[in-house]
Amino acid sequence: MKFSSRFGLPIALVLLVPAMAQAAAGRVLMAAGDAVAVRDGKEVKLAAGAPINDRDVLRTGTGSNLQVRMTDESVVALKERTTLAIDQYRFSGQQDGSERAFYRLLKGGFRTISGLIGKTNRANYEVRTSVATIGIRGTAYSLALCEAGSCINANGTAAKDGLYGAVTEGKVAASNNKGAFEFIAGEAFFAPRPDVGVEKLLVPPAFLADRLEGQKRGPNQSQSAKTETAKTDEGSITAASEARTDPPLTVVTADPILSPIPIRIGPPTVPNPIPAGAVQTSATEDKNAAGAPDVLPPRDGFVVAFPFPTGGTDFYFGGEAEGTYDGAGNLIAFTSTQGVSGSIAGGTITNRGTLTDGSTVVTWGRWAGGTVTGSDGQTLTGFPLLFATANNVNTGVQQALPTSGIVSYTPAGGPGAVAYSGGQAYTGSVTNASLTIDFGAQQATFGATIDFLSALGKKFDVTAMLGPNAGGGLGDYFGNYSTVNCVGCTGGTYTGGVSVGLAGTDGYGTAVAAGCIGDIANGFNATFVEVFRK
């Protein structure tokens, strides 16, 4: 078998550390409509007084609102159809330099009054979006990430895609690839893309305000068809509705310890007539109500795996600058210094899936068509390539792995397996997948069944012992198979190996495995990609 020759450039897919037992980072002040926290891969329904934890992903549905108070006395109020990830939150009760408040706005918008974190050291607070990163200094402000017509102006027209913001108190710094731009109280701003500067607006757009549609539905409850039909749609916006004023955003709580904090920002808004689907928490494609893929966090790493008709395989872990992604996080083109490249142009993507774990999203799929150039210079068209992508990827240097603990992972899905035999391509499946990593012993154990019985009458049961891949290139752990049992094989030499990439700054978390298997004597070679969650 032949693998990508990239052994000296370690860039692996990584996922965030799972939340451990700890004190709550905040508490819910008000939850109206559909408001949940995605925590350790599960949805937790939120109600007044419920705890908010570090690494939670907060999500509101259509006609829903959520207000939370963090332990540094900041208050965050989520608009409807919003997803906000708490990437890292740390506050010991005093400003000792260890405090952190790092958020990621994945979709929708929110209003906030900042607390103690960020008052003295701006680097301790940031809100990342796909367009720009927001920093503050003693601030009240609002943000809205508008994509695919999700924001509606007061006159009923769709706002341009991009990041909008308005400052009520203090100062906001919006930074992207074009530099840092500061705005003070009373100013509003807009950035269409990360490679375009942030510009000042004459007035804040209406959709930055929020009329608290969730309060019409009362405490957190499932949305009924009746509430859907009661929404104002795009064609029925009247002058009277445009003239309504936005009521003060006063928090409501059943917890006597949490005193209400009013948040008042800006002009009125109208209901958004284009509801967008929330980020999925299971292995499924993310789509909004219009049937188009949701825009997910920007990807900064990927893995590809593909076999060749003439024998051999490539699988390759790449970094942010090497991949091109669509709005749903799918890989649509890639290149590398090792000669491996490809483009989906002229093809489609099948076997799509998405896994959300904390603030990290892994997306996978299989190219049906496209063009690929392998590490040996072969260029092929109409090619079945397997891929997975992720955000929060540690790029540029080999990830520092944990030095203790044993973690058993659970398979979460993947694009399957692809094989060439007799010069033709066949698709298969990955079953019975397992992965255990002993971080203390620095050894991983991988097992799976690579199944092509229905297509080719072959099935491989494989086991591999993996060690740290300190040289880089093929993930954090890599190794050849120690056991291969083949059903339907007539003999030959079975070879192959697998690599595992982890994600998160401390190494624990969801994993992506890419591997290959070949029955060289019988002209068979295959690759696969499988995603695991902790």
Residue type, 467: G
Structure tokens at 25: 């980072």
| pLDDT at 385 exceeding the cut of 90 | yes
Report the chain's C-alpha Rg in angstroms.
Answer: 25
Residues present in the chain in total: 534
Residue carrying the six token digits 């694009």? 415
Burial of 440 (0-12, 13-18, 19+ CB in 10 A): exposed
Structure token pair of residue 29? 């002040």
Among residues 70, 66, 60, the alpha carbon closest in space to that of 23 is found at 70
Burial readout 345-380 (b: 16 or more C-beta within 10 A, e: otherwise): eebebebbbbbbbbbbbbbbbbbbbbbbbbbeeeeb
The distance from CA 51 to its chain's CA centroid, rounded to whole angstroms, is 23
Q: Would the pLDDT of 386 be above 80? A: yes
Contacts (Cβ under 8 Å, ≥6 apart) of 464:
445, 446, 447, 479, 480, 481, 482, 497, 498, 515
* Mean per-residue pLDDT, 70-77: 90
- 313-319 sheet: strands from edge to edge: 313-319, 301-307, 386-390, 360-368, 348-357
Note the pLDDT tens digit of each residue in 225-272.
Answer: 333 333 333 222 222 223 333 333 333 333 222 233 333 333 322 222
In this prediction, residue 489 carries a pLDDT of 82
Note the pLDDT tens digit of each residue in 397-440. Answer: 445 667 788 889 999 999 999 999 888 899 999 999 999 999 88
258 vs 478, more confident:
478
Question: In 27-144, which residue ranges form alpha helices assigned H by DSSP?
Answer: none
Mean pLDDT of all residues in 105-114? 92
Mean pLDDT of the chain: 76
pLDDT at 198 over 60: yes
Q: 254 CB contacts (<8 Å, ≥6 apart)?
A: 48, 49
3-state SS, residue 371: strand
pLDDT digits (tens, 9 = 90+) for 22-51: 568 999 988 888 999 999 888 999 998 899
Give the burial class of 468: count Cβ atoms within 10 A of its Cβ; 0-12 exposed, 13-18 middle, 19 or more buried: middle
For 306-351, how does the pLDDT look when each residue is reduced to its tens digit (9 = 90+)? 998 877 888 888 877 788 988 778 999 998 877 789 999 888 999 9
Torsion of CA 16, 19, 24, 26, to 10 degrees: 30
CA distance 60 to 367: 33
